[in-house]
C-alpha cells in the first residue's frame, strides 16, 4: 500500500488500497458536512467563511473558522515528520503510526458524537462552538491520511479532496492526448491519469455511501473510516516488518 510509486507498473492490490482510502475520504467529508454543515477537507471554503465572518464583523467566529484548517496542516506536518523525514534519512517511514493516529481521531469523533460532546447529529450546523472539536478531529485525521498517501504515491494521488487532483488530471490528459511523448513518458502519464480518475470516482462513491450511512446511524458512521484507517495502519506495520525480514536483492 505504501511502498509503491505510480512510475512503477501498477499492482492491482495497491491501487485498490489507494482507491479505498479515497472512498474513506469521501465518507469523512460527507459525515463532516452532514454533522456540521461544513466540508472538512475544503480549506478554500474555510478561508471563504473567514472572509464572510470578517465582513459581518464576527471577529471571534472568523478566527475560529480560520483555525480549523490549521489542523489539516498539522496532520500533514506530522505525516512529513514521520514519513518523509525518515525516508530522507534512509530509515523506515512510519506509515503505521500516521494511519493509526488518523484512525484514533475518527474513533474519537464517533465516540464523542455518541456521548453528545458535539450535540445532536446535524443539529450543530447553527454555530461553530459546539462542533469545533469534531471539525478539528476530522481535519487532523484527513491531513494525516492525505500526507501518508501523497508521500507513498510520489505526490500523484490525493485521497481527501479533489481540487488539486482534478487540476492534475486536466494537465495529464492534455499531455497524453496532445503532446508527442515518448512511450515511457506516455505510459507514466497514463498510469497517473488512471489513478487520478479512479481516486475521483472512489471519493464520489464514498461520499454517496457515507451520506447514506451517516443518515442511518449518525456519528457512528465515522467508525467505517476509522476501520479503513486501522487496516491501513496494520498494513503499514506489516510491510515494515516484512521489509526487515526479507533479505536484500
Dump pLDDT digits (tens) for 52-61: 878 888 887 7
Residue 246 has pLDDT above 50, yes or no: no
Chain segment 131-163, per-residue pLDDT in tens: 888 989 999 999 999 888 877 665 556 666 677
The residue range of the domain holding 122 is 26-36+68-240
Residue 123 lies in a domain: yes
Task: Determine the 3-state secondary structure of 111 from DSSP.
Answer: helix
Secondary structure letter of residue 1 according to DSSP: -
Secondary structure letter of residue 118 according to DSSP: T
User: Mean pLDDT lowest for which of 15-19, 60-64, 190-194?
Assistant: 60-64
- pLDDT bin (cut points 50, 70, 90) of residue 49 is confident
Chain segment 98-109, per-residue pLDDT in tens: 999 999 999 999
**Cell output for 87:** 525516508
Residue 45 lies in a domain: no
Q: Residue 144 in contact with residue 75, Cβ under 8 Å?
A: yes
Using CA atoms in the order 210, 79, 83, 149, what is the torsion angle rounded to 10 degrees? 30
174 burial type by CB count under 10 A (0-12 exposed, 13-18 middle, 19+ buried): exposed
Measured CA to CA, the distance from residue 184 to residue 163 in angstroms comes to: 27
Q: Residue 41 in contact with residue 142, Cβ under 8 Å?
A: yes
- pLDDT bin (cut points 50, 70, 90) of residue 64 is confident
Residue 221 lies in a domain: yes
Confidence (pLDDT) at 248: 40
Confidence (pLDDT) at 245: 44
Residue 18 lies in a domain: no
Q: How many domains does the chain have?
A: 1
Provide the whole-model pTM: 0.83
Residue 57 lies in a domain: no
Amino acid at each position: 500500500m505504501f511502498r509503491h510509486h505510480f512510475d512503477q507498473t501498477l499492482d492491482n492490490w495497491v491501487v485498490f488500497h489507494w482507491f479505498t482510502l479515497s472512498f474513506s475520504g469521501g465518507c469523512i467529508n460527507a459525515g463532516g458536512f452532514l454533522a456540521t454543515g461544513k466540508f472538512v477537507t475544503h480549506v478554500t471554503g474555510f478561508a471563504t467563511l473567514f472572509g464572510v465572518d470578517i465582513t459581518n464583523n464576527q471577529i471571534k467566529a472568523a478566527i475560529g473558522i480560520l483555525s480549523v484548517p490549521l489542523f489539516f496542516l498539522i496532520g500533514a506536518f506530522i505525516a512529513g515528520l514521520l514519513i518523509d523525514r525518515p525516508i530522507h534519512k534512509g530509515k523506515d517511514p512510519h506509515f503505521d503510526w500516521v494511519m493509526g493516529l488518523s484512525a484514533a481521531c475518527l474513533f474519537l469523533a464517533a465516540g464523542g458524537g455518541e456521548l453528545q460532546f458535539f450535540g445532536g447529529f446535524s443539529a450543530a450546523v447553527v454555530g461553530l462552538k459546539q462542533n469545533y472539536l469534531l471539525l478539528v478531529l476530522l481535519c487532523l485525521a484527513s491531513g494525516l491520511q492525505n500526507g501518508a498517501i501523497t508521500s507513498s504515491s510520489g505526490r500523484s494521488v490525493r485521497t481527501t479532496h479533489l481540487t488539486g487532483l482534478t487540476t492534475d488530471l486536466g494537465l495529464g490528459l492534455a499531455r497524453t492526448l496532445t503532446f508527442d511523448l515518448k512511450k515511457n513518458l506516455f505510459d507514466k502519464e497514463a498510469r497517473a491519469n488512471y489513478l487520478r480518475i479512479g481516486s475521483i470516482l472512489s471519493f464520489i462513491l464514498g461520499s454517496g455511501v457515507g451520506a447514506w450511512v451517516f443518515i442511518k446511524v449518525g456519528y457512528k458512521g465515522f467508525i467505517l473510516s476509522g476501520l479503513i484507517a486501522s487496516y491501513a495502519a496494520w498494513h503499514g506495520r506489516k510491510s515494515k516488518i516484512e521489509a526487515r525480514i526479507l533479505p536484500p536483492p
